[in-house]
Structure 1
């Protein structure tokens, strides 16, 4: 069984256009879709390694989840940001189809990670970054990672680049993305186009 999920998510920086709270149509509810984000609170979410959401890193602004820029979060003695930059669902999912909307500010770099091992991630001291597959979210034109094909928006980060038919909306405008993961097969979609497809255990994933 594939579990459909829906969330409006993840812009880094300042959001300037209001977004209506997430809702499902009757047809979507009948098809089994469920909301991960209610458009108002972070209920159902927590930080990696936390029981709650690190509010110094994450807020809800105008109906969207916003990552507070790294320069504006508490710092460690060495000047690095305190941990808390990875937000995760409180519930664990198996096979799924996840759809969300996102936009970025100029030069932003973010991502949506899935199939994450929290145990391995927390053992990855001192960074404690979420270890798993990542759907890259990036301002391709302004961020240095945009020069690397497997680091561009929509890529399976550091593994597979998005297809050439990818279309990304300009900075500040909303994109719609989908991840499908079932068994050993995964797909990334962006604005109605499939841009990445892979199968675990194949040579291209070694």
Structure 2
């Protein structure tokens, strides 16, 4: 009888404990499953020229749908230049071989909305020996947008002469053109896709290229004014350093083939 009583007592004690352990293990598995799902969602790749549900919820908006030029027009023009085309889900500049002179109906293009604080994300691919750029906070008042706007350089670093000009590599891909070199210099060769993120927030600007921050600077500071004063820009536009707080995003026609895709923006 004593043995039976002990067994009953131990059963009464152990069963709730075992049951509690099972419940905790089940809860833990459920939590792990939820965490795994959340990680999977956060790592979900964006569709080509589209957004994941997580990106939409986070405030990202596409600036290029992959099939039309909607939202884009030529700088100081009311139409989309014929020298640009939409092909295979990309915005493609048809190289003229004429440098900045460009084709007859070419020229830089801008998105027809001004942005202030934002992160711009896109992918670019340059042709062999090619040159182009991404402008931001641009104004539409002079003959070229580069006379009013900072530029994140796009370049075939291996072949284009600009890679060896300027100072300390400040004309190579990812750089703040002619002012601050991209470090580390991690651009991929001509013909390969590069991914960039460009953040502007209350005067702080960061260039990110292929997953690494390569440039950081601050607009409107004494250091900024001094740096610009020592560059070529004041001779072209005495007010170049007075970058506006809000402006246009532009893509450059430098006479070379260049492709853009997955262009999206998040206003901050």
TM range (shorter): 0.7 to 0.9
Partner of 1:9: none
Aligned pair partner of 2:190 in 144, 147, 171: 171
Per-residue CA deviations over 1:48-104 (Å, capped at 9, x if unaligned) read: 01111111x21011111011112389xxxxx87436310100111111100000111
The TM-score with structure 2 as length reference comes to 0.61
Q: How many residues align?
A: 174
> Are the aligned partners of 2:157 and 2:189 in contact in 1 as well (CA < 8 Å)?
no
Partner of 2:66: 39
Structure 2: 5+ residue runs without aligned partners? Answer: 1-46, 226-268
> Are the aligned partners of 2:206 and 2:215 in contact in 1 as well (CA < 8 Å)?
yes
Between structures 1 and 2, the one with greater helix share: 2
Matched, 1:156 2:172: no
| Secondary structure of the corresponding residue to residue 126 of structure 2 | coil
C-alpha distance in 2, partners of 1:158/1:83?
A: 27
Matched, 1:85 2:112: no
Aligned pair partner of 1:145 in 130, 153, 162: 162
Q: 1:40 to 1:150 in 2, by over 3 A?
A: same
Matched, 1:71 2:71: no
1:43-122 equivalences under 5 Å are 43-55=70-82, 57-71=83-97, 81-82=103-104, 84-119=106-141, 121-122=142-143
- Higher RCO (C-alpha under 8 Å, 6+ residues apart): 2
The TM-score with structure 1 as length reference comes to 0.79
C-alpha distance in 1, partners of 2:102/2:122?
A: 30
Matched, 1:28 2:59: no
Q: 1:80 to 1:108 in 2, by over 3 A?
A: closer
> Are the aligned partners of 1:96 and 1:182 in contact in 2 as well (CA < 8 Å)?
yes
The CA deviation at 1:203 is: 3.9
